[in-house]
Copies of this chain bind each other. A is one copy, B any other.
Amino acid sequence: MSGSEATYDVVVLGAGSTGENVADVVVRRGLSACVVESALVGGECSYWACMPSKALLRPGQAIDDAKAVGGARQAVTGELDVAAVFARRDEFTHNWNDESQVSWLDGAKIALYRGRGALAGVRKVVVEADDGTTTLTARHAVVVATGSAPLVPPIPGLAEAKPWTAHDATSAKSAPRRLTILGGGVVGVEMATAYGFLGSEHVTLVEGGERVLAKYEPFVSDAVADSLTARGVEIRTGVKAIGVERPDAGGGVTLILDDGSRVASDELLVAVGRRAGTDEIGLDSVGLEPGRYIEVDDTMLATKVPGGWLYAAGDVNGRALLTHQGKYQARACGEAIAARASGKPLDDAAWGRSVATADHAAVPQVVFTTPEVAAVGLTEAQARDAGMSVRAVEYAIGNVAGAAVYADGYEGGAKMVLDTDRNVVVGVTLVGPAVGEMIHAATVMVVGEVPVDRLWHAVPSYPTISELWLRLLETLGR
């Protein structure tokens, strides 16, 4: 068995979007870098999460949008072409081929090691591949960017039933006739929406808590649940799964609930959360516990490993499990590594270029359900828990002229949360058609800490749905 060696300034474990971005930043700053990847270069988001899920959702959404407008509705006399939707999804995932991403690495002068990588003590990573073992040494930093994986909870019979995870739901080639979804978080509600579009005759969503999308403002949960119900999805909240039966592999599957009921379906999707992708990456060799998220500071430096050489960026640090936030952390992390490597001062005050300050209270997320959900920053409850002097205002988006033009009977809601001591917006939540592209305005308000007095001068164009921003200020009063 061969045993080659190589040395880089920076070794990155994991070539998802976060790993790629860290490597790109440090290379641009004059360091050498390699990435180690055991699966596809590009990671979860490209192949089994954001991209394929949105590709499955968008066509049904576009039809719904047209049907919502008098005059256009009459033109939609046919049905969604489900085969075409799956085929289009396959284009977005490049049929799960990472050639184009590998080309990008080449162009960015980032070396690629395919194989299972694991830490092997200080500044060492060992890569096991079919053709041998490579020991990589990092002069300055090792960055763990191995992401997260779907969590399959220890429910009797569940693992044996080989349920779908987000991987399977986003890469399926057809819709199961009956689909049960365990978990009412983002993946659960998005996939309930998607498979409703794609022809599943019966979709049941089981959520152990009181409401779907529980981390959002309650009016969001209500709007999404009402819409799913109206589309025929059966939502069961406040019941917990206690067992799963699947007598024949590939045959029907039955979910047993703690109220004694049973839900039979053709497929079961488990969407109850994620776990850190740190099981088998040698964390014990550096004194960390495998399977746990890696604690980091705002430069993504691991706080419990001495020597200042180990970083963890993206899902793997547990700060904010979102592609865009991982890439954001990657930029901060890359700048921090480059600054430290060159002995330059670190720009690590709040909002500096070496820190991911926004992780704490300015994380945006869009849920591509029908209606869409978009939020950034703190909910009202979170702001109060943080001890702020809070004022919150709400507005029914359907009252905005632009919303009424956009869709007949537009239904949507908005909430803006303010810190009255600083007179700034600290959080916004929107639900309704087409709100996904509206939230970035709020992100700029929150991150920019733009005083409310100044926001009165940010005039929305009439008649866009964005006139909402004026309505919220008017509701707040001057």
Residue from the list B80, B357, B439, B462 in contact with A75, Cβ < 8 A: B80
Tell me the complex Cα distance, A469–B443, Å. Answer: 11
Q: Is the CB of B461 within 8 A of A439?
A: yes
A466: B residues at CB distance < 8 A = 436-437, 439-440
A71: B residues at CB distance < 8 A = 59-60, 80-82, 84-85, 88
Tell me the complex Cα distance, A405–B93, Å. Answer: 11
Tell me the complex Cα distance, A254–B362, Å. Answer: 59
Q: Is the CB of B456 within 8 A of A58?
A: no
Answer yes or no: A271 CB below 8 A from chain B CBs.
no
Tell me the complex Cα distance, A51–B464, Å. Answer: 10
Residue from the list B327, B365, B444 in contact with A441, Cβ < 8 A: B444
With most chain B CB atoms within 10 A of its CB, the pick from A84, A456, A457 is A457
Which single residue of chain B is at the shortest CB-CB distance from A24? Answer: B474
Min CB–CB distance A71 → chain B (angstroms): 4
Q: Which of A349-393 contact B (CB under 8 A)?
A: 351, 353, 357-358, 362-366, 374
A478: B residues at CB distance < 8 A = 335, 353
A87: B residues at CB distance < 8 A = 70
Answer yes or no: A79 CB below 8 A from chain B CBs.
yes
Fill in one digit per residue for A453-478: 1 if any B CB lies within 8 Å of its CB, else 0: 11111111111111101100000001
Answer yes or no: A328 CB below 8 A from chain B CBs.
yes
Tell me the complex Cα distance, A325–B80, Å. Answer: 41
If A54-B405, A62-B65, A80-B71 touch, does A437 touch B464 (CB 8 Å cutoff)?
Answer: yes
Q: Is the CB of B437 within 8 A of A458?
A: no
Q: 4 smallest A-B Cβ distances: which pairs?
A: A59-B71, A71-B85, A448-B450, A74-B81
- Taking A75-B78, A328-B457 as given, write out 19 further A-B residue pairs in contact, using a Cβ cutoff of 8 Å, ordered by the A residue number: A51-B401, A58-B72, A58-B406, A59-B71, A73-B81, A74-B79, A75-B80, A76-B77, A92-B404, A92-B405, A324-B462, A327-B462, A362-B459, A365-B461, A437-B437, A440-B458, A444-B450, A445-B448, A448-B455
